Structure 1
Amino acid sequence: MTNVDSRLELAERAATAGSEIASEGFRHDLAVETKSNKTDVVTEFDRRSQRRVIEVIEAEFPDDAIVGEEEDALKEVPAEGDVWVVDPIDGTNNFVRGIPLWTTSVAAVREGETVAAANVCPALGDVYTANEDGAYLNGETISVSDRTDPETFTVCPTIWWEFDRRDEYAATVEGIVKRFGDMRRFGCAQIVLGMVASGALDGTVTNVVPNPWDTVAGVFMVRRAGGTVTDIHGDSWTTESRGLVASNGEAHDDVLAAAREAEK
């Protein structure tokens, strides 16, 4: 097993361990706290899950950096060295409402480039993974959709717009419904990116600056599945980018145009 192979195995094992902790609180009475605003929620299971993920990683790679949503983990991805990017519960708003669209996400990054990722979705019974060879759903190889006609696309707005930016959210939605066959919104960016990778969705858009724990694993999956991921300007997406536009690559300019509606 190569070092990269071992990191994919560890990413999935750590995400599974964290998801097991999170599952203990799913659809049970929860004490829900808020962080930066009324819709930015957190529970003790977010914190406990992240601790468990880190515990599993550090048992094998104690010197690697950890970027994570909760507590005192790093909040930006270092450009050098081996790094793990962790979201203990992506989709916490779904989690606290008993909606099964949430995941525990772990990505391995080396010298600024993602090399392995796992999104474990226990309430759905799905596990998305990716390595340098491809992307997988429950162990089976996946690829982005082959649709070419935007009027057959289903596209999803993702991440979230603060209350003082709801005009941008509205413009993005309008940009989607005017261009494409249908729209969805799921409230979990990592699952949405997995759906783009598997071909269930044809694209997803936002013009906000997303956090690395919401995106790194899923972006890697889309790219390994043959898709395209850019920023709002159409340049290749990085963790420092503003906006995120992911698609099957067949009509990326149309998906990008929908995202840019918010800029007007």
Structure 2
Amino acid sequence: MNQLDKRNQLIKEWISEAAEISKASFENELVIHEKTNRTDLVTNIDKEIERFFIEKIETFFPGERILGEEGSGHQMTDLEGIVWIIDPIDGTLNFVKQQNDFAIMISIYEDGVGQLGYIYDVMQDALYFATKGQGAYLNGRRLKNVEDTPLNQGLIAISHRLMADETNEEARKIGRASSGVRMIGSAGLETVHVVTGRLVGYLGASLAPWDIAAGKIIAEEVGLVYTQLNGKKIDLLKHNATILATPRAYNEIMKNYHLER
């Protein structure tokens, strides 16, 4: 077994174990804290799963750096070498309120280039996975390149923060130009809905590295475009206002609308 296959096998095993931790927690009372506001939550399970992944990585791949949402990993000022980027529960508000529509996300970057990306829709038992240059998969089935659908023929996800901003009429214009706006409340699940053609695009107001990293690898393997709203490359050392879309929808949005960038 080569190094890449070893990593892939271990990560899939760890994700399965982490998913069981998340589902088992439904029987117990969660410890919930607000991070920045009442809609930005963290639970004891987020922290437990992040620690679980970090312990596994440090055991099997000592010396490799880890960027985790809940701060248990390393402080990053660069992406040199091998860096793991982890979101233990993407969609924590959904996890708390609905016990549904949340994901586990892991990715590996080497010198800033995405190599492996995983998004696991826990309650649907759907694992989206990609290796750079080798395509994207859903539960072992290779995904086709997405159809290059224009904006007016597809549904789009636009973050609540963009849509609710009364000074940002452009986001609502994009929504009206599309076939309709749909939101789940999980960056990872929004991303895989674009990857599988259910959405034509996804606009995020301020996504953290762990919201982006895995999905970017998967999305680019099926022909999607993923950049900052200003057209610049994603910066995985900071929060980004983002656009993920089919090439036609991406070009239309970037040419015709003027979102805050």
- Whole-Å Cα distance in 2 between the matches of residues 135 and 143 of structure 1? 8
Corresponding residue number in structure 2 for 1:200:
198
1:84-123 alignment, distance < 5 Å:
84-123=84-123
Corresponding residue number in structure 1 for 2:139:
138
1:144-183 alignment, distance < 5 Å:
144-158=145-159, 161=161, 166-167=165-166, 171=169, 173-183=171-181
Corresponding residue number in structure 2 for 1:11:
11
Runs of 4+ in 1 over 6 A off after TM superposition: none
1:232 and 2:229 equivalent?
A: yes
Deviations 1:68-107 (A, max 9, x none): 0114323547321111111100000000012411011111
Corresponding residue number in structure 1 for 2:61:
61
- Whole-Å Cα distance in 2 between the matches of residues 157 and 142 of structure 1? 24
After superposing the two structures, state which structure 1 stretch, 76-85 or 249-258, moved more. Answer: 249-258
User: Residue 67 of structure 1 contacts residue 84 of structure 1 at CA under 8 Å; is this kept in 2?
Assistant: yes
Shift of 1:22: 1.4
Shift of 1:47: 0.7
Distance 1:95 1:216, change over 3 A: same
Shift of 1:187: 0.5
Distance 1:182 1:77, change over 3 A: farther
- Whole-Å Cα distance in 1 between the matches of residues 41 and 27 of structure 2? 16
State the percentage of identical aligned residues: 26
Corresponding residue number in structure 2 for 1:46:
46
Distance 1:55 1:262, change over 3 A: same
Distance 1:66 1:149, change over 3 A: closer
- C-alpha RMSD over aligned residues: 2.5
Which amino acid counterpart does residue 154 of structure 1 have in structure 2? L
Higher relative contact order (CA 8 A, sep 6+): 1
Which of the numbers 184, 187, 192 marks the counterpart of 1:186?
A: 184
Distance 1:138 1:254, change over 3 A: same
Shift of 1:147: 4.2
Shift of 1:259: 7.0
Distance 1:251 1:67, change over 3 A: same
Structure 2: state its 5+ residue gaps.
none
Corresponding residue number in structure 2 for 1:24:
24
Deviations 1:182-239 (A, max 9, x none): 111111001111121121211101243x211111001111001111111112233332
Tell me the secondary structure at the aligned position of residue 53 of structure 1: helix
Shift of 1:66: 0.8
Distance 1:176 1:25, change over 3 A: farther
Tell me the secondary structure at the aligned position of residue 250 of structure 1: helix
After superposing the two structures, state which structure 1 stretch, 250-259 or 219-228, moved more. Answer: 250-259
Tell me the secondary structure at the aligned position of residue 167 of structure 1: coil
User: Residue 4 of structure 1 contacts residue 115 of structure 1 at CA under 8 Å; is this kept in 2?
Assistant: no
- Whole-Å Cα distance in 1 between the matches of residues 139 and 78 of structure 2? 30
User: Residue 8 of structure 1 contacts residue 130 of structure 1 at CA under 8 Å; is this kept in 2?
Assistant: no
- Whole-Å Cα distance in 2 between the matches of residues 56 and 190 of structure 1? 22
Tell me the secondary structure at the aligned position of residue 259 of structure 2: helix
> TM-score scaled to structure 1, two decimals?
0.88
Which amino acid counterpart does residue 81 of structure 1 have in structure 2? G
User: Residue 176 of structure 1 contacts residue 258 of structure 1 at CA under 8 Å; is this kept in 2?
Assistant: no
